[in-house]
Amino acid sequence: MINIAKNSTPRVKIIQKLYSKILNPDEKIIYNKSQYKKFIKDVTEGTLERRELIEETVEKFLKDDIDLKRTDKLLKIIIFAAVFELLYKHNNFKMASMNFYNNTVDLNDTFLTTFNTLNFINTYLKKNTKFIFSSSSAIYGYVKGSISENYKKKSPISNYGLMKLLSEEYIEYFANKYNLRTYIFRFPNVIGNNLTHGIIYDFIKKIRYNKKILNVLGNGDQQKPYSNVLEIIKCMIFIKNKKFLHNVNYFNIGTNDKGIKVKDIVDIFLKEINYGTKVIFQKKKQGWVGDIANYRYSTKKINKLGFKFKFSSKQVVTKTIKDSIKINIK
């Protein structure tokens, strides 16, 4: 019988119970008392409500990526569990409205790559392997106040955040089962030279097209922390070289401040380009569907280990804007 941690999430419990059944087909699964008892039982035993509709949804939107007839039982169950939560869980109505299944990028680039990488490690690599996973603050969802690594009520509102969370939960199970030392780093907004996305990249692209008007996503009151990619890497290396008792170790990494507002980023950007550009904000605060307009998480854990980020969100944003303008505009 596989031991299941008391604080495991429903999806982790599903994976653990399913593996137990696969490894020991004759073993009777005991479903502990839990508000998720029926959900876990239905998923692991294949009696999930509206199973046909879920299969139809997967085949319709993920047919180019997943062949259910050839998909192993474990991965199929994880996918079904995710679809079930998105479509039918009452407090996830916002997720369902986002039409996740038209976009399989995050499923492929995040969850499936994690799943396949771990299986590769288990098959080919020697013992004492360390696994590092780049996660995201997007796993938390809307949370008031400063978020610690131990925050339990994670409820991502984007496909990206959900796939990161599912990856974390599979990693947790895999690491404990195969004794794999794992470091999960939850990033803030990471910026630096050679940007490929994000607010500064968006501004650069728009201003090169039209110097007179800058359309900004959201009303400008969004406030988030930003960190430089080089400091992020230094922090990851610092932590990787530390010794920890547990196989799975979670870290919020980034600058320990309240972040910077979008309207302040706009002011810095306009001052640097000096084109006399007119700014147009949207009425709504959220910049796009799935955007967490305001968040702040605690970095006390890495600070206690001895690492503190040198630069504030404003300093990092200012330098990145100046460097990006030199490279891409002037």
Residues 21 and 165 in one domain: yes
Q: Indicate which CATH number applies to the domain containing 201.
A: 3.90.25.10
Residues 15 and 112 in one domain: yes
Residues 50-57 have a mean pLDDT of 65
**Count of the separate structural domains present in the chain:** 2
Q: What is the pLDDT of residue 4?
A: 46
- Structural domain containing residue 320: 189-328
Domain-embedded: residue 1: no
In Å, what is the CA distance from 150 to each residue of 163, 232, 251? 19, 21, 10
Q: Which residues have C-beta within 8 Å of that of residue 127, sequence separation ≥ 6?
A: 179
Residues 176 and 197 in one domain: no
> Above 50 in pLDDT, residue 109?
yes
Lowest mean pLDDT among 96-100, 204-208, 253-257: 96-100
Q: What is the pLDDT of residue 36?
A: 54
Residue-wise pLDDT tens digits, 65-77: 567 777 666 566 6
Residues 105 and 33 in one domain: yes
Residue among 205, 207, 206 at smallest CA distance from 276: 207
Residues 30-39 have a mean pLDDT of 58
Residues 153 and 287 in one domain: no
* Helix/strand number for the chain, H first, E second: 13, 11
Residue-wise pLDDT tens digits, 121-159: 888 876 778 899 999 999 998 888 899 999 988 888 888
Write down which residue in 147, 180, 213 finishes a domain. Answer: 180
Domain-embedded: residue 2: no
Q: What is the pLDDT of residue 152?
A: 86
Residues 156 and 195 in one domain: no
Residues 129 and 278 in one domain: no
Given the structure tokens 């630069």, which residue do they identify? 311
Write down which residue in 163, 180, 197 finishes a domain. Answer: 180
Confidence of residue 187 (pLDDT cuts 50, 70, 90): very high
What does pLDDT average to over the chain? 80
Residues 290 and 149 in one domain: no
Write down which residue in 145, 180, 215 finishes a domain. Answer: 180
